[in-house]
Amino acid sequence: MTSSAKAALRKQVSSTLRALTASQVATQSAAVLTQLLALPAYTACRSASIYLPMDGGGEVDTWPIVSDLFGRGASVAVPRVSGPRSDDMVMLRLPSLEEAQALPRTKWGIPEPDAESAAKLEDMTTAPDVTLILVPGVAFDTKCGRLGHGRGYYDHFISRQRALPRADGAELLVVGLSLSEQIVEAVPMGEHDERLDMVITPDGPLAYTSAADQAHAASLMAAGAAAAGAAAAGLAAGGAGAETAAEASGPSLKERIQLATGTFKYACVRLTPVDGGAPLLAVRSGPGKYHANVAEPIVGRFTSEGYRCEPLGGGRIIRDDEKKEISIYGHSVGFGGADGGPPGHGMRDHAEVAALVRRALPEYAVSWDPDGY
């Protein structure tokens, strides 16, 4: 079933990609590089693995990224495939951008070292100092599932790299590079498919919950753990009435509802006064690798003002100031454990958040949906 579903999805996405013009691919590829430049793991990287793009292929053009990596003095390794088995792909370090650009093309139009040049290049396949793997794909989903071409080369390589011990606290980040048309609702995942840590799109990053993020989210939640039970019961029993009553002495709705213009992750946080008063909800949307990062400014501010803060979950919010529309959708992958929501830890759905947003921004039409993340 997974195999046939993957084949159908490959066919569907490939057809869409073939319709893209070179100009469209170039524009989106430039936007992907811009997003990478805002990623500390990229700008600090000293050793990266990256694919080289097919000539005229419907995928992110990585030549500008390769050029930027070399310009930063980073070590750059590219793949060479020698056979059909999943372990027949190695990563070879290239000396320079010029030598990368001079590589011969395979029958698929992919720049790749041939056997003669490969023998002279350093094999980085199991090098523990690689900290960034930039991965191609046919399609990706918003939980960082990846659909490749079916050979399993990258799944095998990623698995080997993730198993390597790393010194000095170094961490490996595995990132898919995606055109907008390659993002789909869900990628069928098999037993040996490696989920990515992040997917970079022209519109921003999509991040999957990692062990580090779960720990970070847990530390944020700990700030409100003591009040969680009582606060939850009070809010459930009192509903909007309890919320309204608590506002009389607490922060205003305008202070608690902070939505950035555009499409961003959002986090919902329950604020409980340390003196035992009724809880309030705060909502924030904005840039952030994970939902926990989006919640941090709220947690920091209101903790300092005497509130216990419990992040509940979230999703995504589109704020369109021109159309005066706000769309709330999806589920949190930052607070709901390894598989996220829907709709996240401690939230039934987006209804309560939508109601607060309507009150805070009455001039906007507000809608919500649990799907579409």
Q: What is the pLDDT of residues 102-138, one digit of tens each?
A: 999 998 889 999 999 999 999 999 999 999 999 999 9
* Claim to verify: residue 286 and residue 335 sit in the same structural domain: yes
Confidence at 289, pLDDT banded by 50, 70, 90: low
Task: Determine the average pLDDT of the residues in 174-182.
Answer: 94
* Claim to verify: residue 188 and residue 332 sit in the same structural domain: no
* Claim to verify: residue 62 and residue 100 sit in the same structural domain: yes
Task: Determine the average pLDDT of the residues in 67-87.
Answer: 94
* Claim to verify: residue 56 and residue 197 sit in the same structural domain: yes
Confidence at 40, pLDDT banded by 50, 70, 90: confident
* Claim to verify: residue 175 and residue 36 sit in the same structural domain: yes
* Claim to verify: residue 108 and residue 86 sit in the same structural domain: yes
With the C-alpha atoms ordered 116, 120, 125, 131, is the resulting torsion angle positive or negative? negative
Structural domain including 349 reads 213-369
* Claim to verify: residue 140 and residue 238 sit in the same structural domain: no
Q: Look up residue 293 and give its two tokens.
A: 């990062």
* Claim to verify: residue 337 and residue 275 sit in the same structural domain: yes
Q: Which of 60, 58, 61, 52 is nearest to 91 (CA)?
A: 52
CATH number of the domain encompassing residue 305? 3.50.20.20
pLDDT of residue 226: 34
Confidence at 203, pLDDT banded by 50, 70, 90: confident
Task: Determine the average pLDDT of the residues in 39-44.
Answer: 90
pLDDT of residue 107: 87
Residue 51 has pLDDT above 50, yes or no: yes
Quick check: helix, strand or coil at residue 156?
helix
* Claim to verify: residue 41 and residue 105 sit in the same structural domain: yes
User: Percentage of the chain surpassing pLDDT 90?
Assistant: 46
- 69 versus 188: the higher-pLDDT residue is 69
CATH number of the domain encompassing residue 124? 3.40.50.10420
Provide the residue type at 194 as one letter.
E
* Tens digits of residue pLDDT in 135-157: 999 999 887 889 998 889 999 99
Task: Determine the average pLDDT of the residues in 226-243.
Answer: 39
- Residue ending a domain, choose from 187, 207, 227: 207
Lowest mean pLDDT among 41-45, 195-199, 286-290: 286-290
Task: Determine the average pLDDT of the residues in 296-302.
Answer: 90
- Residue ending a domain, choose from 207, 231, 250: 207
Please count the structural domains in the chain.
Answer: 2
Q: In the sheet that 204-207 helps form, which strands lie side by side, from edge to edge? A: 122-123, 89-94, 75-81, 47-50, 132-135, 173-177, 198-201, 204-207
* Tens digits of residue pLDDT in 248-280: 567 889 899 999 988 888 989 889 888 777 889
- Residue ending a domain, choose from 169, 192, 207: 207
35-66 b/e (C-beta count within 10 Å ≥ 16 → b): bbeebebbeebebbbbbbbbeeebbbbbeebb
What angle (nearest 5°) sits at the alpha carbon of residue 107, between those of residues 67 and 140? 60
Residue 52 has pLDDT above 50, yes or no: yes
Residue 223 has pLDDT above 90, yes or no: no
- 244 versus 280: the higher-pLDDT residue is 280
Quick check: helix, strand or coil at residue 86?
coil
d(CA 183, CA 118): 34
pTM over the 0.85 mark = no
Q: Round the average pLDDT of the chain to a whole number and report it.
A: 83
* Claim to verify: residue 184 and residue 220 sit in the same structural domain: no
Confidence at 221, pLDDT banded by 50, 70, 90: very low
Residue 71 has pLDDT above 90, yes or no: yes
* Claim to verify: residue 13 and residue 138 sit in the same structural domain: yes
- 243 versus 26: the higher-pLDDT residue is 26
Confidence at 218, pLDDT banded by 50, 70, 90: low
* Claim to verify: residue 323 and residue 295 sit in the same structural domain: yes
